[in-house]
């Protein structure tokens, strides 16, 4: 239970650090910096205690990282400065599960049960309720809805990346090659590093403007906190939880991270969501928790 709770709290702090670092350094700089720091920590583990770059599943893990860590996280950092950490993590965490389920059904032929579809409908309803009151945010409507699209893109990246990771684990298992969680995360994040770096250097809007240089004196600890709380310690605690407890208990607990983020955003950033936003978040998280339970029982 402790590992699951630590994972939830760490993931929630990670998105708070991400939002603040994006404001201080710019989304592109903040994202590239945190993924390089996290890759360094994971490389130290993988090349000393883990599998390094060995194994038949490396191409699949790498592709999973391109989509999940790369495209998905770029979309998340596009959403954070526009709609804030509360809505960004709500969209990402709650929509990722139904997107992953649909992807598995379309690609791998995994059956979608009526309970899966019902939970997905509850999630979508909750997200719709949560988004409706935020039309009155102090940002232009166009900016808000662009942020929402980025949030949906982030969810798609996470969901499809997770399906590719499942495919990678299946390939490793079929070849009787045991790979630890840290090494799998390292092989994944390399794809994210490549995609993020290419986007940063080739797409001009990803780089900070000349008159808005990154404030590293204020931002370096935010990048470090984001890298440690998310892909490093957060993922490590997640793997620890899955090894010591049934997934039917771990996944629903971790699915509540948008609610923890809501509390942290209220405490740290003084962000005050409306009652309808809170109600929508509760509905969406309840649907996500139910979907995680259903999926865990069916596997």
Non-local CB neighbours of 116 within 8 Å, separated by 6+ positions? 98, 101, 291, 294, 295
Supply 270's token pair: 């003084």
Neighbours of 19 (CB within 10 A): 30
Non-local CB neighbours of 106 within 8 Å, separated by 6+ positions? none
Q: What is d(CA 169, CA 57) in angstroms, rounded to the nearest whole number? A: 7
Q: What is d(CA 128, CA 118) in angstroms, rounded to the nearest whole number? A: 15
pLDDT the model gives residue 211:
47
Supply 83's token pair: 């709609």
What are the sequence ranges of the domains in the chain? 2-298
Could you give phi then psi for residue 138, rounded to 5 degrees? -80, 45
Per-residue pLDDT of the chain (299 residues; tens, 9 = 90+): 788 889 889 999 999 999 999 888 989 999 999 999 999 999 999 999 999 999 999 999 999 999 998 999 999 999 998 888 888 989 998 898 888 888 888 887 777 788 888 988 898 888 888 877 555 567 788 899 999 999 999 999 988 988 898 889 889 989 999 888 888 889 999 999 999 999 998 887 776 655 466 788 889 999 999 999 988 888 888 877 766 776 567 767 888 888 888 888 888 777 777 788 888 889 989 988 888 888 777 76
Supply 84's token pair: 């804030």
Could you give phi then psi for residue 274, rounded to 5 degrees? -75, 170
pLDDT the model gives residue 190:
95
pTM of the model: 0.87
Measured between alpha carbons, how far is residue 50 from residues 44, 69, 172, 185, 212 in Å? 9, 20, 15, 11, 41
Answer whether 147's CB lies under 8 Å from 82's CB. yes
Q: What is d(CA 265, CA 259) in angstroms, rounded to the nearest whole number? A: 10
Sign of the Cα pseudo-torsion (271, 277, 280, 282, in order): positive
pLDDT the model gives residue 117:
86
The DSSP letter of residue 226 is: H
The DSSP letter of residue 53 is: T
Q: Helix (H, G, I), strand (E, B), or coil: what is residue 140?
A: coil
Residue 297 parent element (H or E): helix 275-298
Neighbours of 111 (CB within 10 A): 8
Supply 186's token pair: 């390292």
Q: What is d(CA 72, CA 158) in angstroms, rounded to the nearest whole number? A: 6
Q: Helix (H, G, I), strand (E, B), or coil: what is residue 209?
A: coil
Answer whether 73's CB lies under 8 Å from 64's CB. no
């Amino acid at each position: 239970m402790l590992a699951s709770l630590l994972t939830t709290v760490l993931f929630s702090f990670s998105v708070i650090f991400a939002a603040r670092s994006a404001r201080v350094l710019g989304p592109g700089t903040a994202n590239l910096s945190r993924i390089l720091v996290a890759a360094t920590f994971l490389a130290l583990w993988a090349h000393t205690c883990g599998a390094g770059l060995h194994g038949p599943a490396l191409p699949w893990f790498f592709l999973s990282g391109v989509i999940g860590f790369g495209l998905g996280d770029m979309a998340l950092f596009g959403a954070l400065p526009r709609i804030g950490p509360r809505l960004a993590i709500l969209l990402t965490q709650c929509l990722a599960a139904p997107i992953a389920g649909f992807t598995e059904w379309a690609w791998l032929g995994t059956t979608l049960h009526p309970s899966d579809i019902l939970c997905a409908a509850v999630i979508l309803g909750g997200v719709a309720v949560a988004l409706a009151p935020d039309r009155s945010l102090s940002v232009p409507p166009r900016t808000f809805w662009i942020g929402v699209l980025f949030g949906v893109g982030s969810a798609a990246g996470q969901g499809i990346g997770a399906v590719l990771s499942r495919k990678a684990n299946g390939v490793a298992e079929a070849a009787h090659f045991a790979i630890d969680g840290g090494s799998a995360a390292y092989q994944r994040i390399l794809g994210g590093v490549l995609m993020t770096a290419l986007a940063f250097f080739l797409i001009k809007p990803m780089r900070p403007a000349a008159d808005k240089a990154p404030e590293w004196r204020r931002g370096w600890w935010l990048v470090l906190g984001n890298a440690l709380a998310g892909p490093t310690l957060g993922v490590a605690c997640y793997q620890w939880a899955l090894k010591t407890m049934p997934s039917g208990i771990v996944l629903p607990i971790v699915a509540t991270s948008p609610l923890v983020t809501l509390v942290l955003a209220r405490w740290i950033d003084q962000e005050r969501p409306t009652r309808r936003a809170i109600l929508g978040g509760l509905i969406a998280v309840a649907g996500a928790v139910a979907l995680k339970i259903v999926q865990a029982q069916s596997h």
